[in-house]
Structures are given as C-alpha cells and as structure tokens.
C-alpha cells in the first residue's frame, strides 16, 4: 500500500503536536579529508542534547545517488513519494512566488535571453541580469492580451520569471522552447498532443507580443520557456494525516510547495530563525503540525562558505530553545537535501536527521548531531518520505495495522 | 520511476571514469564465532587505506534472505532490477561461453548424465566428467540436422554444455527435462503453451539424435536440458548511463552477462588480478566505465578454503595499486554475492562494499575493509541495483531531479 493510503487508513486523532524543522541543504562534507562537516564543526549544545535524548538517522530524499531539487525534496519530507508526485517546475515556481495556481492553470518557468540580429541566442541567461533589473522587464510583460486566456507574470530571481496562463483547455504537454544552446533561435512552443495545441498557440501569441515589448532591450531582448505544467492536484495533507498543518517559511518557493499540499502558510515579521520560531509560538494553539523552513544553510552552502554555514547552524541552535519552550511532542530536525559547501551545490548525500520525542523515542548512543553519528544512528538510513509515518507514530496518531 | 528510467532521464556527460571491481563471492563468515571473516583475516593495507578515505556499506543483491545466482547478482551490480530482468540460465551461459545469442534464438543448459539399460538415470552428472572429457562428446553433438532450426553446442565446464537453436518460432516456455532425481528417465521436452510446442518438438528431435550419438559412452550416455530461454533483449548500458562500458573478466559467464547489457568485452593475456588491472590500464582511454571481475574468491569459498580465500584477497590487494595509478574518479570494490567458505556455497548475506571517490565521498569512521565495519558503514545497507546511481552521482554524471 502506498504511504499515503496507509496514513489515511491508520490515522487517529490526538492532541499531540509535531514540528518539522528543515534546515535547507543541511547535509555537508568535510572541508578536508578526516575533518568535520559544517554541522559537525558547528558548536550546537542544544541540538547535541536533543541528539543524546533522541535518536539519529539519515534520510534519502529521492533515491540513492539522486540529487533532488527543492520541490521533490520537500514533497518527500511531507510524505509524498517524489517520483509518483512529479510536480512540474513551472507550477512549483509559480506557487513559490505566490501566484495562486488553480486547477486548469498552465504555468511555465521563463528565462530572459539575448538574441542577435538574426534571432539566434547569444546568451541563454541575458548576462545573468539581476532581480532588480528583471523586475521592470517583467512589468513590461504584464497585461498581454490573449484570445482565450489571461496571462500573469512574476519575477523569480535574476533573469528568471514565472508565467501563468488562466483559461479553458490549457493542456501542458508542450515542448520547452529553450534550445539549451547558443547559436540557435528560441524554439516555438509545440503541443506534443492534440489537446495541447491550443495552449501552445496561446503561448506563441504571448511570446510574440513579449518579444515586441523587449525588442529594444540591450541584453534581455528575448525569452525561453520551460517546465510547462498544470496544478498537480496533490492529495491534501489534512485528510491524509488528520493534522492541521502550518508552514513557517521566508522564501516563496517553500511557501508554494506547502500551499500545494494544503498547508496554511503563516505570515510573520522578520526572517531570522528566532523570528520563525516566534511565529510558530504565536500560532501554536491553532495547528498541530508545523513545517519550519530555514533557507540560509543552503544559500551559504551554495556560496561555498563552510564557516558561514557552520556559524549559521550555531545561530539556529541558539534560537531553538524558543521552540523547545513550546513542548512539542515530536520534533524532527533535518534538511531537504545536502548542500556541501565544498561542492557549492545540492548533492545526493543522505541528509542527517535528529528525531526527538521524549515519550516514545528509542534512543541510540549518539552524543552529538552530525553526519557521522547520523550514519550509524538508531533510525538507520531510510527514504525521506518515511519520516512522516515515523513522526505520526511518535505523536501517537496512528492505529495498529491489522488485528 | 524505475531505476533505469531515472538514469536515462538524469544522466549527463562528463569526462570522469568509474571502476567497479567485483571479487566474486567476496562476502564471508568467520571460521569460528567471534573470529574474522576471510576478508577481515586478510592483510589488506591498500584496501584498508581506501576504506579510511572512502566510505563503507553493504549491498543486498536480490532481496533480504535471497541467495542469488551469478546472473542476477551481476545484473543488479549493473543497475538492472534482477527480479524485473529475469534472464534465463540458458541464455546467460550461452552468452557466457561466447555463443552469440540473437533475437529469437532458444538457449538451454545441458548436463551429461548416465542412464542404465532401462533408460533410468543413475548419475545426474555423468560421474562429474572433466571439461577435457566433455569436449569430444560435445564435438560429437555438432551438426545435428533439424527440420526448421540450426543447432549449436559448446562445452561449458565439466559435464555441462550449452545448446542453442536458431530458427523461426522458437518459444521458450518448455519444461526442463531433468527429473532432478535418479531412478527416473530424462523427461521429454514439453511445450507449456501452444507457441512453444514447435520448439519442444525440435528439442526432442535433437535429443533423440544426440542420445544415438552418445549411446556407446560409458558415463555420459544421455543428457538433460534446463533453463530454456531466449534473448532477454536487455536495455543497453550506454544509452541508459551515457557511459562507454568495458568488461575485464576471465570467465565466460561474466563476459556473457556483460555482453548482454552491451559492454565491450576486452580480450587480454593472463588471468591474475594484476593481469586484469593491466588490461584496464591498456584500454583506459577508450572507455569510462570498467567492470572488472575476479573469480577465485568465489571458487575458493566454494572449496571451503578459508585461508586460500583470505590469501587470494591479499593478492588482489597487492595488485590494486596498478588500478589506483590510473586515478579513477570513482572506485567501488565489492562482490556479486557472498560465498562463505564455511558454507561452501553462495549465500544471501549482504555483500561488503567499499566506495572511494576522493572528490565527493562523505567518509565514515571505518578503519579497514571488512564485513563488520561495512555493516555500520556510512552508506548503510541497500540494494545492489542502487550502486550504479551512487557511482554515477560521485562521477558527477547525474543532473538534479526536479526544480
């Protein structure tokens, strides 16, 4: 039986509260052979105490060797098989930036690019123009009229933007228009089946007008579109788990994925871990599952900043007492994937996991939270999508299976 | 998504090189409780150094408790689910001995046996006659004329041979003719469905003539046939992984399995581990994935020769510097299955794995290569078929999954 069906069948009410604390890209690598990872180098007395009292393990987001994007990595943490629920990039990024993706809407990820006089791409990223420079360009693309759909656009980051078409009959089986190389013109949108031809025509109409509006730009004078996708209509968190879930996240992407599974996204002031934990406290009575997303561990990893990532983990550790004061019944501290600062990128390495549940945890011999101790932790190594059932169990929210 | 589909989707080019070193039947058991296994008893300073710098784990070839044959065990190491790709013994052994198995060909594994005057089997292995004695008998069976197919035969080892029929309409759903006991005559080949009746008739015609030609033999005066199977038409390694693979193996069986997945099988002189590593060196520029198969660890295990198996592992260790001098980006050292000398047979025990990839490995606390340290290694315990994705990841040959 699939994970989610099992949860639907076994879940039972309780008043317990679950907290999932995700430090994005938490997993790391030693700077030099034999040395500590970022997490191991960080001085984290509170998390180490939780590790002693709790149990450690490793989680594998998608599969051994597979480096996950943030979308699938988070779906897995929410208990959704990230291969079965293969949500398109267009939708995740649109939802992430705060565009409301409704059933039937068609989303795509756009890149500004530079083309020469013959229309051939000379720079697929338009000189990597900044977000500040992209914003007025995206504003130019607002309100393009289409015969049969309404188009919305939002800037994502740097030269990237999100395009959303709302209207009837928008099938997403459309070939990406990025030729993935320079020296070629952007490709037309081509419907790969009969049902998608209508949407492909609308996309081409939109692109034609967008190109007219960008024609006089020095760098971003054209665009390509990728990841055409519609609302994946994911099964919702609450009926699956019987939990009333809330998301506390600063970045739109993670708020977007949470929204796709039906979480309430909490608005709050500030953006430090302490601010996020305070927001959890303010909403503590209204929900029984809190997903907290902390971004900077990943960003610092992508910057190759070993010391910065370690120092930021220390900052999370200091703030964590604010979370413990709430007395959650189950607290899992982990990442969505690894982002070793040595690699400056997401990686496939398993993600360290700390599970703390004072009433029910079977502790191991761990003395501190770190990759090496997690690798021999009492929970072993398992798929990220199995974490939800384990948290549900420790929250005493699952009935026995079978007589 | 199945493993192979994921690899097809995510693979990307790189100039990195992967080496898979398989010591057949590597996994072992202590001679007495509390003692070391064969691998642990062996003095292996080079592999121990690789274990320190790399990471250990355990792989499970087919499933927990399942003792694999060499065919499925190797398919798993190549990333093919050994349950989904259930390749018949007849085909593997035919391909192994160098018979070219084409689409539509029907292969079977033959055993010489001894029958009495009434035609009842008195020895299912014809006194285990040597390969040298089998050869002229197999020669007698060449050129048997059939109405609708051409028959080829090759000696395998001792009393075993391979039979291959080439012709139209050769369906393989044929009952094995070995009654698996003495005191019974060999069974006729019976087609288990309509489509297989034609092939079954041809097999019976071939057997009748073969028995006439063997009638005056003192021991091998009859035969049985098993493992009727046709070309499994396996998806090929190169389009799946984007790797140009080569096989360095002494024994036909392993060359055969490699050929079935489309590897280039390298011919070379000699048969020691050093000879095999030298052959890899000679072809280093032409391929980016090398499967090296070493047989004697298994044979010595099957002989019950604990000390011999340990001593031979030491010989591999001494030769391994020849491999390290080539600077592979990823080196995995493992077995296809366990063959504990105490059991004198393949076993189901997980197989020790050492993964070395200087740029990207997340090391564990291992100090030496052995079953006990592998059981608590940083890679955990996982399916053999997942090793390929992990090696691909460390070779930086996989794109990120999802946005």
B87-126 tens-digit pLDDT: 888 998 898 787 888 889 999 999 999 999 999 999 999 9
CATH 3.30.70 in chain B is located at 91-230
Backbone angles phi, psi at A228, to 5 degrees: -60, 130
Quick one: CA dihedral B226, B158, B265, B16, positive or negative?
positive
Please state the CATH superfamily assignment of the domain spanning residues B3-87+234-394 in this structure.
Alkaline Phosphatase, subunit A (3.40.720.10)
Of A252, A276, A365, give the one whose Cα is nearest residue A23: A276
Task: Tell me the shortest Cα–Cα distance from A175 to chain B, in angstroms.
Answer: 16
The domain made up of A3-86+234-394 has a fold known as Alkaline Phosphatase, subunit A (3.40.720)
> Poorest-confidence range of A164-178, B82-96, B214-228?
B82-96
Q: Residues in chain B whose beta carbon is closer than 8 A to a beta carbon of chain A?
A: 1, 3, 6, 10, 53, 358, 360, 362-365, 376-382, 386, 388-394, 398-403
Of B294, B232, B250, give the one whose Cα is nearest residue B102: B232
Distance of alpha carbon B306 from alpha carbon B288, whole angstroms: 35
Q: CB distance A86–B399 less than 8 Å?
A: no
Q: Residues in chain A whose beta carbon is closer than 8 A to a beta carbon of chain B?
A: 27, 29-30, 33-34, 37, 58, 62-73, 82-83, 86-87, 89, 92-93, 109, 227, 340, 343, 346-350, 371-372, 375-376, 380-381
Rounded to the nearest integer, the mean pLDDT of chain B is: 95
3-state secondary structure of B67: coil
E strand or H helix that includes residue A300:
helix A296-302
Q: Is the pLDDT of residue B2 over 80?
A: no
CATH 3.40.720.10 in chain A is located at 3-86+234-394
Tell me: the pLDDT tens digits for B150-204? 999 999 988 999 999 999 999 999 999 999 999 999 999 999 999 999 999 999 9
DSSP B20-65: EEEETTBB---SSTTS--HHHHS--HHHHHHHHHSEEEEEESSSTT
**Interval B20-25 mean pLDDT:** 98
Task: Tell me the shortest Cα–Cα distance from A71 to chain B, in angstroms.
Answer: 6
Return the percentage of chain B with pLDDT > 70, whole number: 100
Query: Which chain B residues have a beta carbon less than 8 Å from that of A86?
Result: 1, 402
Question: For position A101, what pLDDT does the model report?
Answer: 86
Joined together, the tokens standing for residue B73 give 């065990």
Distance of alpha carbon B179 from alpha carbon B183, whole angstroms: 9
Q: Is the pLDDT of residue A173 over 80?
A: yes
Question: For position A1, what pLDDT does the model report?
Answer: 54
The overall longest dimension of chain A from CA atoms, in Å, is 73
3-state secondary structure of B318: helix
Tell me: the pLDDT tens digits for A92-115? 889 878 788 888 999 999 999 999
Look-up of token digits 């914003």: A135
Query: Which chain B residues have a beta carbon less than 8 Å from that of A372?
Result: 364-365, 378
Q: Region of A86 please: left (phi>0), alpha (psi -120 to 50) or beta.
A: beta
Give 3-state DSSP helix, strand, coil % of chain B, rounded to 5.
Answer: 35, 20, 45
Tell me: the pLDDT tens digits for A253-284? 898 899 899 999 999 999 999 999 999 999 99
pLDDT band at B363 (very low <50, low <70, confident <90, very high): very high
3-state secondary structure of B381: strand
Distance of alpha carbon B214 from alpha carbon B196, whole angstroms: 27
**Interval B371-395 mean pLDDT:** 96
**Site from B332, B362, B398 to mutate, A interface, most A CB atoms within 10 angstroms:** B362
E strand or H helix that includes residue A23:
strand A18-23
Q: CB distance B400–A92 less than 8 Å?
A: no
Question: Searching chain B, which residue's CA lies closest to the CA of residue A30?
Answer: B362
Query: Which chain A residues have a beta carbon less than 8 Å from that of B386?
Result: 63-65
Task: Tell me the shortest Cα–Cα distance from A60 to chain B, in angstroms.
Answer: 11
* Contacts of residue B243, Cβ cutoff 8 Å, sequence gap at least 6: B18, B237, B287, B288, B289, B397
Q: CB distance A372–B380 less than 8 Å?
A: no
pLDDT band at B141 (very low <50, low <70, confident <90, very high): very high
Query: Which chain B residues have a beta carbon less than 8 Å from that of A346?
Result: 400
Task: Tell me the shortest Cα–Cα distance from B221 to chain A, in angstroms.
Answer: 52
**Site from A36, A64, A377 to mutate, B interface, most B CB atoms within 10 angstroms:** A64
Please, what is the Cα angle at A27 between A24 and A30, to 5 degrees? 135
E strand or H helix that includes residue A369:
none
Q: Is the pLDDT of residue B1 over 60?
A: no
Query: Which chain A residues have a beta carbon less than 8 Å from that of B376?
Result: 376
Question: For position A263, what pLDDT does the model report?
Answer: 96
Nearest to B376 among A71, A86, A376 (CB): A376
Task: Tell me the shortest Cα–Cα distance from A292 to chain B, in angstroms.
Answer: 20
Task: Tell me the shortest Cα–Cα distance from A361 to chain B, in angstroms.
Answer: 21
Task: Tell me the shortest Cα–Cα distance from B375 to chain A, in angstroms.
Answer: 9
Joined together, the tokens standing for residue B340 give 């504990």
Q: CB distance B389–A65 less than 8 Å?
A: yes
Tell me: the pLDDT tens digits for B29-76? 999 999 999 999 999 999 999 999 999 999 999 999 999 988 999 999
Distance of alpha carbon B260 from alpha carbon B5, whole angstroms: 18
User: In this structure, what DSSP letter does residue A395 have?
Assistant: T
Question: Searching chain A, which residue's CA lies closest to the CA of residue B53?
Answer: A33
Nearest to A66 among B360, B398, B403 (CB): B398
Task: Tell me the shortest Cα–Cα distance from A371 to chain B, in angstroms.
Answer: 9
CATH 3.40.720.10 in chain B is located at 3-87+234-394
Question: For position B212, what pLDDT does the model report?
Answer: 97
Query: What CATH architecture is A91-230?
Result: 2-Layer Sandwich (3.30)
Question: For position A125, what pLDDT does the model report?
Answer: 93
Give 3-state DSSP helix, strand, coil % of chain A, rounded to 5.
Answer: 35, 20, 45
Backbone angles phi, psi at A173, to 5 degrees: -80, 70
Joined together, the tokens standing for residue B288 give 């980016």
Question: For position A95, what pLDDT does the model report?
Answer: 84
Question: Searching chain B, which residue's CA lies closest to the CA of residue A67?
Answer: B400
Q: CB distance B6–A34 less than 8 Å?
A: no
Backbone angles phi, psi at A268, to 5 degrees: -155, 165
pLDDT band at A297 (very low <50, low <70, confident <90, very high): very high
Rounded to the nearest integer, the mean pLDDT of chain A is: 95
């Amino acid at each position: 039986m699939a994970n989610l069906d099992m949860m639907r069948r076994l879940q039972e009410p309780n008043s317990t509260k679950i907290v999932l604390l995700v430090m994005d890209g938490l997993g790391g690598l030693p700077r030099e052979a034999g040395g500590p990872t970022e997490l191991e180098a960080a001085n984290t007395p509170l998390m180490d105490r939780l590790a002693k009292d709790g149990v450690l393990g490793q989680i594998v987001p998608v599969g051994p060797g597979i480096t996950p994007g943030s979308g699938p990595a988070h779906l897995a943490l929410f208990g959704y098989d990230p291969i079965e629920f293969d949500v398109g990039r267009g939708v995740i990024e649109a939802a992430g930036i705060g565009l409301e993706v409704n059933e039937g809407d068609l989303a795509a990820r756009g890149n500004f690019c530079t083309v020469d006089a013959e229309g051939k791409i000379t720079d697929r990223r338009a000189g990597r123009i900044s977000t500040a420079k992209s914003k007025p360009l995206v504003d130019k693309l607002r309100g393009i009229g289409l015969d049969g759909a309404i188009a919305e656009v939002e800037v994502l980051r740097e030269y990237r933007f999100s395009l959303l078409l709302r209207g009837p009959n928008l099938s997403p089986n459309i070939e990406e228009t990025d030729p993935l190389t320079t020296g070629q013109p952007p490709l037309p949108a081509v419907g790969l089946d009969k049902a998608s031809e209508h949407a492909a025509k609308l996309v081409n109409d939109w692109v034609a007008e967008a190109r007219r509006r960008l024609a006089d730009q020095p760098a971003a004078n054209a665009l390509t579109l990728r990841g055409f996708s519609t609302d994946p209509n994911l099964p919702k968190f609450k009926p699956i788990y019987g939990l009333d879930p809330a998301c506390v996240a600063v970045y739109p992407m993670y708020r977007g994925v949470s929204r796709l599974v039906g979480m309430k996204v909490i608005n709050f002031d500030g953006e430090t871990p302490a601010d996020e934990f305070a927001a959890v406290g303010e909403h503590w009575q209204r929900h029984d599952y809190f997903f907290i997303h902390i971004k900077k561990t990943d960003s610092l990893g992508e910057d190759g900043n070993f010391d910065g990532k370690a120092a930021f983990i220390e900052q999370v550790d200091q703030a964590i007492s604010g979370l413990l004061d709430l007395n959650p019944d189950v607290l899992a501290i982990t990442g969505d994937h690894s982002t070793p600062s040595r690699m400056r990128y997401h990686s496939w390495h398993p993600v360290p996991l700390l599970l703390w549940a004072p009433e029910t945890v079977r502790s191991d011999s761990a003395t501190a939270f770190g990759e090496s101790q997690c690798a021999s932790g009492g929970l072993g190594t398992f798929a990220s999508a199995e974490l939800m059932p384990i948290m549900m169990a420790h929250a005493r929210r699952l009935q026995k299976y079978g007589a």
